[in-house]
Structure 1
Amino acid sequence: MRLYLSSYRIGDRAGTLLAMLGDGKRAAIIENALDNVSATARDLYRTDVYDPAAELASLGISAELLDLRHYFGRAAALRTHLSQFDLVWVTGGNAFVLRRAMQLSGFDDIIVDLLDADAIVYGGFSAGAVVAAPSLEGIHLIDDPAELPSGYSGEVVWDGLGLIDHAIVPHYRSPHPETHAAERAARHLSARGLRYRALRDGEVIVWTEERQLTPETQRRIA
């Protein structure tokens, strides 16, 4: 299992990401954490402020958008499509919106299978990083769990993907609009005795782990 979890954008370990990918240069960008933002606003931001595809291209990685909304209730199709990529890069936004999209599309189960088989690298920043944790506890002090884009179910998903064994608090003590909320989230987790790591912008968690494939997982990825 190969994880690259950043507080903000690529962060300061781009060389490590490239080493993790080896010869793999195909990435799927998932921006569903921004589904509560209008398509027009997203396009303007991508043009004028930050384009994740351009950032990946600067590293020699070819990337395309993958909208999980197109796969709600179509997990088998998503599994086939994801198998074409070496990296999934999950951007920031609202972590609760993102987590709903992952559940509704079946991405949450699929990515675990692909990571167990070491068939893909999971990378992401901000919301894309925090959902790797066991739970989104504390993140409600940064993102609104009640945000509900069109086409989404109303149930809040509090479970994370469980890829790592602690919470991540991004934008901690950083020049970012959410830094004060991040401080509150860190205090909340600390007061409850929950394991977490607070990341300043630029910092990255690189997590590699060998995981034993179960027969059921082997069957699903075959």
Structure 2
Amino acid sequence: MKYYLSSYKFGNQIKELKSLIPQNNKIGHINNSRDWVGVDLERANKHQQEEIDVLNEIGFKAVPLDLKKYFHKTEELNSTLNSLGGIWVSGGNTFVLRMAMKLSGFDKIFEKLKNRDNFLYGGYSAGICVLSDSLKSIEIADDPNNFPYKGINKPIYKGLGVFNYSFMPHYDSDHFESEAIGKEIQRCIDNKWLFKALRDGEVIIIE
């Protein structure tokens, strides 16, 4: 799996993102981090369409991939993911995103999916935070007790486990979560937790 990990939106390495487009350029846009209780659905849907439009301009064939449609339908989700060349995971609430990944079985599928050399995982903010082994370092910036889905009423702190450190997006940036991220970083320092801070615009690329 290849990774394009941005602090916010598509970051400042669009040229490099274009070079990562797989041969199968159909990509699923996951927007479930915005399913939290109290969300403005119209705004969330508009936000998703705007990002899909950008992905298509870059050279992808982007389609919505709503994990809610696959809750308790892991085999169907597995089939859908196998038809794609990548996914783009949007920002929002990391804990809500993690819940959707559990209920859909995405987290189990991911264990095999991450071994596909020709598959792209792109995303930002919550979409990259969920890749860490633990989500304990992001609970100030993101509310862990927002439960929009039936069947889960406790936070999930176990991440997807790709990285043994936490991502701290929006660090020292003009973003409403920047102050909270500063507090998260201090918690990481105080507890000797590994982390990597990213300013908005910055991107980590792993091939």
Q: TM-score range by the shorter chain?
A: over 0.9
TM-score (norm 1): 0.87
Report the counterpart of residue 35 of structure 2 in structure 1: 35
Counterpart amino acid of 1:24? N
Report the counterpart of residue 125 of structure 2 in structure 1: 126
Aligned-pair identity (%): 36
Superposition pairs for residues 181-220 of structure 1, below 5 Å? 181-208=180-207
Report the counterpart of residue 142 of structure 2 in structure 1: 143
Q: For 1:130 and 1:2, how far apart are their aligned partners in 2?
A: 16
Deviation at 1:21, TM superposition (A): 2.5
Give the secondary structure class of the aligned counterpart of 2:162. coil
Counterpart amino acid of 2:102? Q
Counterpart amino acid of 2:27? A
Contact kept? 2:2, 2:118, Cα under 8 Å: no
Counterpart amino acid of 1:6? S
Give unpaired runs (5+ residues) of structure 2.
none
Deviation string 1:190-220 (CA, Å, 9 cap, x unpaired) is: 1111111010001111123xxxxxxxxxxxx
Deviation at 1:88, TM superposition (A): 0.4
Superposition pairs for residues 106-125 of structure 1, below 5 Å? 106-125=105-124
Query: Does the alignment pair 1:86 with 2:103?
Result: no
Q: For 1:32 and 1:12, how far apart are their aligned partners in 2?
A: 24
Q: For 1:206 and 1:188, how far apart are their aligned partners in 2?
A: 26
Deviation at 1:41, TM superposition (A): 3.1
Query: What is the number of residues matched between the two proteins?
Result: 205
Deviation string 1:171-206 (CA, Å, 9 cap, x unpaired) is: 000001100001011111111111110100011111
Q: For 2:18 and 2:164, how far apart are their aligned partners in 1?
A: 24
Report the counterpart of residue 3 of structure 2 in structure 1: 3
Q: For 2:4 and 2:48, how far apart are their aligned partners in 1?
A: 22
Structure 1 window deviating more from structure 2 (163-172 vs 22-31): it is 22-31
Deviation at 1:46, TM superposition (A): 5.1
Deviation at 1:96, TM superposition (A): 0.2
Give the secondary structure class of the aligned counterpart of 2:127. helix
Q: For 2:8 and 2:33, how far apart are their aligned partners in 1?
A: 14
Counterpart amino acid of 1:173? D
Deviation at 1:122, TM superposition (A): 1.0
Report the counterpart of residue 23 of structure 1 in structure 2: 23
Deviation string 1:136-155 (CA, Å, 9 cap, x unpaired) is: 12100100000111435112
Contact kept? 1:135, 1:162, Cα under 8 Å: yes
Q: For 1:206 and 1:196, how far apart are their aligned partners in 2?
A: 16
TM-score (norm 2): 0.93
Deviation string 1:30-61 (CA, Å, 9 cap, x unpaired) is: 000000114223235457xxx11011112011
Q: For 1:57 and 1:121, how far apart are their aligned partners in 2?
A: 15
Q: For 1:112 and 1:21, how far apart are their aligned partners in 2?
A: 22
Report the counterpart of residue 161 of structure 1 in structure 2: 160
Gap change, CA 1:44 and 1:53, over 3 Å in 2 = closer
Counterpart amino acid of 2:43? A
Report the counterpart of residue 76 of structure 2 in structure 1: 77
Give the secondary structure class of the aligned counterpart of 2:92. coil
Contact kept? 1:100, 1:152, Cα under 8 Å: no
Contact kept? 1:101, 1:152, Cα under 8 Å: no
